[in-house]
Amino acid sequence: MKKLIIALLTAVMLFGCMSAIAEEETAGQICFEELGITVDLSEIDEKCEYYFSLDQQGVFRHDPYAALCYVTYYEMTQDALMQFIDAYNNASDDDEKDALQQILSFLSGTIGIILTSDAPDKQAMIDAVGFSFPEEEKIEVYEVGTLNEWHYYYIPLPIHDMLYIYDDPAIISEDYTEEQARADKEFVQNEVDMINSELIKQLQEGTFAEPIDPDEQLIGQVLEFESTDLDGNVVNSADLFKDNKITMVNIWGTWCGNCLGEMEELAQIHTRLQEKGCGIVGVEYEVKSLENVVDEAKEVLSSNGITYPNVLKPENHPIFSQFGSYPTTIFVDSEGKILTFPVIGAAVDEYEAVVDKLLAGENVDAITGTDAVTNNDNGYNVYVYDPDGNPVEKVIIQLCDDSLCSFQPTDTNGCASFKTDEEKVYEVHVLRAPKEFMADSKIYTTLDTYSDVTIFLERAE
């Protein structure tokens, strides 16, 4: 096993002699609308031998606002990374796959964070976002620009976890000497320092604008639609909303584990909401024809005691089409006006409190739902779907704790399964998606117990 790891590690390091091939996103000007930053990366791209990417994470907090972009560095070229992943896909046994996934965790990492916030100063931003930096690291937070109440930052991160592999005697052999290890360690450190230094410079010279929060833009819009219920009857949104002070609109599907996981409690919430003059409307997102799912859908509703109305999601709707994760829940008034940020993922413990605040005329903070639901599989499952709810196979999924990452491809059911003896919160990443889909750099999390995580990929344009 050790010889295999050493041989593979040596092969990966040799890939570094190849010319760097940068992704389109790291060449020339890039505009990050949610960050409000336009930056030119062509100079860094020309200087960088290995592969780095800027992975926008979207809006992390709404009050205060915070949008993040992670800078990820791989100690290899993009071409080498693709070959590495292909080698994993074609590995003949579990030992070889374990070795490959362990090596990749050594040879990649986050080297910096680009961040936009309207918090009044650096410390308020750090407190609001929840960053925690050890004092001994002496991490510097660089303010690269301001615009009105907006502050734009860059935070270089230490890379100890990427460098310590070069100090491991186990990698030294006739083919890979201590001198080569020292040289590679120095090269990686120098290249990361260069990227961080150049990024600070290019960000300071970049263009700043008001960040665009796609969720906030929904507030105040009127949700209007016409659809059919499970019996094929035409239903109009105005009729669904007019008799309720507040209506909770819950978008779900029979194929969505997170949706089904909260269904029983939704029936109980609905009973209590009715007493307050409010209600729930289910919008069912089915990818098969109604005749193929109607019995299954009705059984789900009946077995969970659901009595509130359910309609099929209208196709090509300007608001519904913006949502790419399920369940998604929005709150509207009697005229259909959207009152809050959408809740992406399951947040069954929060829904009733949102309605109570709205009834009292209070402001409602953004709620972050979970993409995970408990299971009984003695492991963690990651399900990947396309925008229509169809499973996507051959997606490379990475599961990470504080010290090690594992990765698996999704099967024909869109599932990547990870067996582990330890139940805790893991980070989930989409390491590679098929070419017909957009890259997904969002960080997902499991529950602290065995659970399923659901991910939806956007199609490439």
354 touches 425 (CB < 8 A): no
Domain edges within the chain: 2-208, 216-359, 372-456
Secondary element (H or E) of residue 140: none
What mean pLDDT is reported for the chain?
83
The CATH H-level (homologous superfamily) assignment of domain 216-359 is Glutaredoxin (3.40.30.10)
Half-sphere exposure of 156 (CA within 13 A, CB side): 21
pLDDT higher than threshold 60 for residue 2: no
CATH topology of domain 372-456: Immunoglobulin-like (2.60.40)
Identical topology for domains 216-359 and 372-456: no
This model's pTM is above 0.85: no
Q: CA end-to-end span of the chain, whole Å?
A: 43
Q: How far apart are CA 327 and CA 294, in angstroms?
A: 19
DSSP of 430-461: EEE--TTB----PPEE--SSSEEEEEEPPBP-
Residue tagged 């490959």 (tokens): 100
pLDDT higher than threshold 80 for residue 18: no
Q: How far apart are CA 383 and CA 261, in angstroms?
A: 15
Among 170-184, 199-213, 289-303, the range scoring the smallest mean pLDDT is: 289-303
* Token code pair at residue 422: 């330890």
Question: pLDDT band at residue 288, thresholds of 50, 70 and 90?
Answer: low
Question: pLDDT band at residue 457, thresholds of 50, 70 and 90?
Answer: confident
Angle at CA of residue 231, ends 225 and 235, nearest 5°: 20
pLDDT in tens, 128-154: 777 777 777 788 999 999 999 999 999
Biggest distance spanned by C-alpha atoms of the chain: 79
φ, ψ (nearest 5 deg) of residue 392? -115, 120
Per-residue b/e over 12-37, b at no fewer than 16 CB within 10 Å?
Answer: bbebbeeebebeeebeeebebebbbb
Q: How far apart are CA 2 and CA 12, in angstroms?
A: 15
